[in-house]
Amino acid sequence: MIEFIILGFLMTRNMTGYDIKQTMNISTSNFMDASFGSIYPSLKRLVQKKLIYLEEIATNGKLKKIYSITDQGKEEFIIWLKSPIEVSKTNTTSALSKIFFFDNLNNEEITNSINTYINDLTKLKNNLLDVKEMLKKHDNNFEISTLNFGLDFYDFTINWYKNYLDSVNKKL
Partner DNA sequence: GGCGCCATGTAACCAGTTACATGATTGC
Partner DNA sequence: GCAATCATGTAACTGGTTACATGGCGCC
Q: Does 155 bind DNA (CB under 7 A)?
A: no
SS3 state of residue 5: helix
Q: How are beta strands 62-69 and 52-59 bridged, if at all?
A: antiparallel
User: Which of DNA, a copy of itself, none sits in contact with 48, Cβ below 5 to 8 A by type?
Assistant: none
Q: Does 103 bind a copy of itself (CB under 8 A)?
A: yes
Q: Does 17 bind DNA (CB under 7 A)?
A: yes
* Residues 115 and 166 sit within 8 Å (Cβ to Cβ): no
Residues 14-53 touching a copy of itself, rule: CB under 8 A, are 26-28, 30-32
CB-nearer residue toward DNA: 22 or 163:
22
Residues 18-47 touching DNA, rule: CB under 7 A, are 18-19, 22, 33-38, 40-41, 43-44
* Residues 23 and 32 sit within 8 Å (Cβ to Cβ): no
Residues in binding contact with DNA, number by CB under 7 A: 24
Among 26, 30, 73, which Cα is nearest to 50's?
A: 73
CB-nearer residue toward a copy of itself: 45 or 149:
149
CA distance 78 to 99: 12
Report in angstroms the alpha-carbon separations of 99 from 50, 114, 133, 168.
Answer: 25, 9, 34, 11
CB-nearer residue toward DNA: 64 or 74:
64
Residues found near DNA in the complex (CB under 7 A): 1-3, 16-19, 22, 33-38, 40-41, 43-44, 59-62, 64-65
